[in-house]
Amino acid sequence: MQKPIYFSKIEFIETIGHGNPNSIIVLNIPARELSYQVYDWKHQYPAKWISSGNTKFKPVPVKDASYQAKIIFSCGIKLIEQQLETLLPLCNALDYEPFRNRKMGIDEKSYCGYRDEAQVHFRGITDSPIPLLELPMHYYYDEEHIWPSERLYRYLIKNIFDKEKNMKGWYTPYGGFSLS
């Protein structure tokens, strides 16, 4: 059996609506920290003033399509040794490699359901030559075929976030925004 190569940093990026992150979970294994931030995105009105021949050289406000992020909730959790020992087997980058460049699909017989309103994306970084790994998390599969990114995400929500009093009401419960 090959020696495990653990991710040093893992992100779960949840998007709702227009594609900007609604929340981000960051697991920093060397620092033994789990952090969570929730964002609110606002249009910048008016973004700028312009004057040109079309405006008879009078300054006119122009709406900008860009959004400005504002952090509305942030929480950091220092992981204890027992939590880290339980998490590490779920963070072996070698277990994730077979899923690199793999497409998720509802036509797989192990398909159970999908995330409806929210989309979750996985990003994992190691301190090894293994390149950045990004995986979609649009669908749920049965326990035998569950992707390792989904297994880790489920563990974090059910075993850490559900037990953290400061998190109540800020995160989407596991399976929320989903249909099956």
Structure tokens at 31: 């620092």
CA-based nearest residue to 173, from 103, 102, 130, 115: 115
Rounded-to-10 torsion of CA 143, 146, 148, 149: -120
Boundaries of every domain in the chain? 7-42+70-179
Could you tell me if 37 and 71 are in contact, meaning their C-beta atoms sit under 8 angstroms apart? Answer: yes
Polymer length in residues for the chain? 180
The tens-digit pLDDT sequence of the chain (180 residues) is: 689 999 999 999 998 866 778 899 999 999 999 999 998 877 666 557 777 887 788 887 776 666 678 888 999 999 999 999 999 999 999 999 999 998 888 888 888 888 877 789 999 999 999 999 999 998 888 889 899 999 999 999 999 988 888 877 777 666 665 554
